């Protein structure tokens, strides 16, 4: 891994692009963890091969009380201590990365998330994110 792939961050390992996360996942350098809600993954789409571990859950965006245990289980199953965390826009995944770092996990935030920020018409997936980058994803 090249250090220029990683942007420095406070409280967690750093920020990476969706492309870098995909490459790391493909090479077995990390587990890709989707921290969006079950509803988001079901209705908006998901990344094949990503581990679903919600940071917060719908309705009400209540914190997942089992996040730590579920994330540690992912690391054990994947045989890694490095995770790339994906949310809708790269905001929730920062909080999840800070939390994960407190438990000894090398956690990276995926910049722009799955859908990126909204454009001038309040539409997502138009100006950034995993989907816009043309990386693999599916929708039910």
Please provide the DSSP assignment of 42-85 as one string.
HHT-B-TT-EE--SEETTTTEE-TTHHHHHHHHHHHHT-SEEEE
pLDDT tens figures, 43-61: 999 999 999 999 998 888 8
Task: For residue 40, give Cα distances in angstroms to 37, 54, 88, 93, 114.
Answer: 5, 10, 8, 14, 10
Residue 78 lies in a domain: yes
CATH of the domain at 39: 3.40.250.10
Residue 4 lies in a domain: no
Task: For residue 39, give Cα distances in angstroms to 19, 27, 67.
Answer: 24, 29, 17
Give the per-residue pLDDT at 128: 76
Q: Which of 88, 110, 94 is nearest to 22 (CA)?
A: 110
pLDDT tens figures, 72-89: 999 999 999 999 999 998
Count the domains in the chain: 1
Residue 63 lies in a domain: yes
- Asked if residue 9 has pLDDT above 80, the reply is yes
Q: What is the enclosing helix (H) or strand (E) of 31?
A: strand 31-34
- Of the candidate ranges 88-97, 100-109, 115-124, the one whose mean pLDDT is the lowest: 115-124
Q: Which domain holds residue 32?
A: 12-107
Residue 65 lies in a domain: yes
Residue 113 lies in a domain: no
């Amino acid at each position: 891994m090249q250090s220029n792939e990683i942007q420095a961050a406070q409280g967690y390992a750093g920020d990476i692009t969706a492309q870098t996360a995909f490459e790391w996942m493909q090479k077995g350098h990390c587990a890709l963890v989707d921290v969006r809600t079950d509803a988001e993954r079901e209705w908006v789409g998901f990344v094949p091969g990503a581990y679903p571990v919600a940071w917060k859950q719908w309705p009400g965006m209540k914190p997942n009380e089992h996040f730590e245990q579920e994330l540690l289980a992912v690391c054990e199953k994947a045989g890694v201590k490095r995770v790339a965390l994906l949310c809708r826009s790269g905001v929730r995944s920062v909080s999840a990365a800070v939390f994960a770092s407190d438990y000894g996990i090398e956690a990276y935030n995926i910049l722009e998330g799955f859908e990126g920020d909204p454009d001038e018409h309040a539409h997502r997936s138009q100006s950034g994110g995993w989907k816009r980058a043309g990386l693999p994803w599916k929708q039910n």
